[in-house]
Amino acid sequence: MFSPTGEIVEAARSANVGVGAFNVITVEHAEAIVAGAEAAGRPVVLQISENAVKFHGGRLAPIAAAARRVAELSSVPVGLHLDHVESDELFDQAAAHGFGSAMYDASKLPFEANVAATKAAAGRGRAAGIWVESELGEVGGKDGAHAPGVRTDPAEAAAYVAATGVDALAVAVGSSHAMTTRTAALDHALIAALTAAVPVPLVLHGSSGVPDDELRAAVRGGLVKINIGTALNVAFTGAVRSALEDAAVVDPRKYLKAARQAMADTVTHALRVVTEL
């Protein structure tokens, strides 16, 4: 069943658990994420990034419509989130294409410019019924931005949320985008300080590189929305490689079925990690 992202996140926050938010690139991703959530019996968020929209030729409508329909047919609550949006034009399309939330990403801008752009976007989003996430400073892994060791300052984060009016904040606490190994060590003292300072739900980007025990500790410390993307692609690609070892396989359904199941299993495991603390 489709559910607004904000409701899913607030329910998780009230229950002191996390909610998994997984990146959608293909329809198989959306199907796998929902299948994995149903197997775990947990709510989930489907995320379509601006980069995924670019992959689909800059057309948001087809992949958004497919993901929204997969969400509606699910037996568990499923949110639909437009992620890492730098384009104002794309951000303003979110509500029309069935999204309940969007992440406006002005993190490459200086602080004051980030505040101004994000405040304006949050106002437009609120008027359209969109729950708005943002990011203060860049999380690592994006073209070398955000060097290792850089962290979100709690006082600055609190001021940023107050100034922009966003509904959730992604913070830099030691994770990094696009990690294919699970070796990230999070700053749990900082997580506790951010949780105490910031009144809105906190979001962890780059969670694919974070070990299970670190994720559990992060959720116990106050992180709520746990974003995962690369782990699904690792599972997808591994399953496809294995299936194509048989040179006789030419029907894409044979290897995409295996890839979809591998992603679903990854989702089920991750959701259990962030909810069974």
Assess contact for 200 and 168: CB atoms under 8 A. yes
Lowest mean pLDDT among 187-196, 209-218, 266-275: 209-218
Residue 227 DSSP class: E
Measured in whole angstroms, the distance separating CA 16 from the mean position of its chain's CA atoms is 18
* Predicted structure pTM score: 0.93
Question: Which residue, among 115, 208, 216, has the nearest Cα to 158 in the 3D structure?
Answer: 115
Q: Looking at 42-179, list the stretches that DSSP marks H as alpha helix, in order from N- to C-terminal side.
A: 50-55, 61-72, 88-91, 111-127, 154-164
In the chain, the percentage of residues whose pLDDT exceeds 90 is: 82
Whether residue 41 contacts residue 74, with contact meaning beta carbons closer than 8 Å, is answered with: no
Checking DSSP bridges between strand 131-135 and strand 101-104, what pairing results, if any?
Answer: parallel
In this structure, are residues 180 and 19 in contact, taking their beta carbons and an 8 Å threshold? no
Active site residues: 83
pLDDT interval class at 151 (50, 70, 90)? confident
Q: Whole-angstrom Cα distance, residue 175 to residue 102?
A: 21
